[in-house]
Amino acid sequence: MLSKRSAVLFALGLAAALSAGAASGQGQNPGRGQGMGQGGQRGSRLRENLATLRLIRLTQALDLSEDQTAKIFPFINKIEKDKVEVQRRLGGDIQELRRIVSGGDPAEAEIGPLIARIKAAQDKVKLLDAESEAFLEKSLTLVQQGKYVLFQIDFYRLLEQAVAGLKPQRGGAAQPPIKK
């Protein structure tokens, strides 16, 4: 379990990262195809930073040996980078779907392929997560596996709390409701 000090440091670091991202993105509304531009790079950078922070915290929480760290870190890092790339494309497709659906008369011919790409990307993320989990299961002792389960719960709970604490400060435009 994360100590209070670690939790506070994590929350502060996350708050700073999210605030900087929100502040630099105010007034911007990146559309499809801009995933490689300012908006997409900022989101990708944030995901990469969170993945790196998670990996560092994981190393500490599981008390990994040097050999385990040398084996696990590169593998998980590669998986996380692959996920960031898939999620970047997924974000662009979601924005495009929102644009099409919220328009006056959505073109169904455009919607089908977008839905298929979104579902494929979601499936790819699930596969990468499953690959990561299987690798960790083989690489960790049973005690470390137990610590990993608890780490995951604590890390994501802390992340949710940090994000929830930032929502009033963000000042960014909310996503428009889906019109029926």
Contact 87, 51 (CB under 8 A): no
- Asked whether residue 12 carries a pLDDT value surpassing 60, the answer given is no
User: Which tokens is 159 given?
Assistant: 């992340």
Predicted confidence at residue 46, as pLDDT, reads: 81
**Average pLDDT of the segment spanning 164-168:** 78
**Average pLDDT of the segment spanning 23-32:** 38
Contact 162, 10 (CB under 8 A): yes
Taking the alpha carbons of 57, 82, 70, 135 in that order, is the dihedral positive or negative?
Answer: positive
pTM, rounded to two decimals: 0.64
- State pLDDT tens for residues 59-109: 889 999 999 999 998 999 899 889 989 999 999 999 999 999 988 787 888
Residue with tokens 């195809």: 33
- Asked whether residue 137 carries a pLDDT value surpassing 80, the answer given is yes
